[in-house]
Amino acid sequence: MSLNLAFKVKKPLDTIFEYLTDMDKFVSIHPVIDKIEPLSNNNFLVHETLKFGFIPVSFRYQFFLNMNLLEKTVEMNATVMKFTKIKMVFVLKSEGHSTKVTETILFKSIFPIKWIMIKIFKKQHTMLFANMNL
């Protein structure tokens, strides 16, 4: 199952690329990621807290970052809680002084949680790209 999103950010492409590939900058604008620790070459450990109603649920997972400035793409691959694989691909395109970001998120899980994941990611990433505009 996949989710396709598109955002327009009022910043140059290089700035958006940096927000998606510099983990300190990424954490500073992400609505639910508390911390990202480098593990090895392009491998990271993410500390995330989601709220289900008033109940915060914290967890950690690893992800691999693949970036290509020439192709203007960023890819993140993660396995969350050992049973859900998530692949996010961001394609950036300059539009004057702004950047159009097209995002494809692929979910693979043995559990029927994909619809919940789609709702969560749509909300989080709308906030993430809105934060880039600040």
Domains of the chain, earliest start first? 2-132 (3.30.530.20)
Distance (Å, whole) CA 72 – CA 15: 12
- B/e letters for 92-101, b = 16+ CB within 10 Å, e = fewer, are beeeeebbeb
The rounded distance, in Å, linking the Cα atoms of 12 and 95 is: 9
CB atoms within 10 A of CB 74: 23
Query: Which tokens go with 111?
Result: 């559990």
Average pLDDT value for the chain: 94
HSE-up of 46 (CA within 13 Å, CB side)?
22
pLDDT of residue 52: 84
How would residue 134 be classed by pLDDT, with cut points 50, 70 and 90? confident
pLDDT for position 110: 78
Taking residues 63-79, report their average pLDDT. 97
Which pLDDT value is given to residue 78?
Answer: 96
* 16-60: pLDDT as tens digits: 999 999 999 999 999 999 999 999 999 999 999 998 889 999 999
pLDDT at 111 over 90: no
> What's the pLDDT band for 116 if we cut at 50, 70, 90?
confident
Looking at residue 36, its pLDDT comes to 98
Q: What is the pLDDT of residue 122?
A: 95
